[in-house]
Amino acid sequence: MRTIFAKMKDITQKWYLIDADGKTLGRVAAKVVPILRGKQKPIYTPHLEVGDKIVVINAEKIRVTGKKMQQKIYYHHTGYPGGIKHENLAKRMQKKPTFPLEHAIKGMLPKGRLGRKLFRNVKVYAGSEHPHSAQMPEKLEI
């Protein structure tokens, strides 16, 4: 028996549309990542980009459970001594409503070149409008 690896000519990418209105943050991210990786396809190859492209709309209407809006903290460091900054989820959603979903998806992808390449295949939009109607994305229910 020989292991069969997907060739670049065998890979076809479809477009999917996911409406995140009223959905839980982590559950949406956990459904998006396997589709980006291509794990539902029979030609899945761990080191290749065999997944599909995804458009997520209404990211500003995503919900979280419990007190996460006030208690979930996002940290970043400026690079200077004492330069750690923090912000809770509610403030971050006001500034950039797509950030929490993008951050959750990026955290579930592999680290390195492949993960950065796969992250380019997801497009997250705060509202219900998106510029990818020409690709005719299939609506995907979560």
Q: Does any domain span residue 75?
A: no
Distances from the Cα of 24 to the Cαs of 74, 81, 93, 97, in angstroms?
18, 36, 14, 14
CATH number at residue 31: 3.90.1180.10
Q: What is the structure's pLDDT at 3?
A: 82
Sign of CA dihedral 58, 131, 135, 102: negative
What distance in Å separates the CA atoms of residue 61 and residue 65, rounded to the nearest whole number?
13
Q: Does any domain span residue 74?
A: no
For 75, phi and psi rounded to 5 degrees? -110, 150
pLDDT digits (tens, 9 = 90+) for 12-56: 999 999 999 999 999 999 999 999 999 999 999 999 999 999 999
Cβ–Cβ under 8 Å, residues 119 and 106: yes
Q: Does any domain span residue 3?
A: no
Q: What is the structure's pLDDT at 96?
A: 97
- 31 closest CA partner among 44, 43, 17: 17
Q: Does any domain span residue 86?
A: no
Q: Does any domain span residue 78?
A: no
DSSP β-bridge partners for residue 57: 19
* Domain around 53: 8-64+96-139
Q: What is the structure's pLDDT at 100?
A: 97
- SS3 of 17, please? strand
| Mean pLDDT for the stretch of residues 63-82 | 97
Q: Does any domain span residue 40?
A: yes
The radius of gyration computed from the CA coordinates of the chain, to the nearest angstrom, equals 17
Q: How many domains does the chain have?
A: 1
Q: Does any domain span residue 89?
A: no
